[in-house]
Amino acid sequence: MGRDEVVCGFGEGADADGGRVRPPAPAAAIHARQDALITGLGPDVGDRKPFTCLAPGENAAATFTAGALERLRTIKRNRDPHGVFRSNFPVLAGTGGATR
């Protein structure tokens, strides 16, 4: 095993597949690469997140524009009044009733 390799997972010296993995790159290098990728994409990058990538404390407004969120809320109220379909981040937060 090389000096820059680390052993992960199950068994001695191997991960679940019997392979070896390298240690994670330093955080600064990762952030620099992310910044370069974002800069390279130019104006096509916005500040919205995918709905499935929201973190605790965030809400659906971080994902959708105000107009899109209002349309989604209207659909949710009309098509799922009993809150059968739910997610970790409620679409109808603060409106009472079926909030997810």
Total of domains in the chain: 2
Percent of the chain at pLDDT exceeding 90: 17
Same domain, 7 and 33: yes
Same domain, 12 and 38: yes
Provide the domain limits for residue 68: 47-100
**pLDDT tens per residue, range 26-65:** 778 888 898 898 888 888 777 788 888 888 888 888 888 8
Same domain, 37 and 3: yes
Same domain, 61 and 40: no
What's the pTM?
0.51
Same domain, 88 and 76: yes
Same domain, 60 and 86: yes
**Structure-derived torsion over alpha carbons of residues 56, 60, 61, 62, reported in degrees to the nearest 10:** 50
Q: How many Cβ atoms from other residues are within 10 Å of residue 20's Cβ?
A: 15
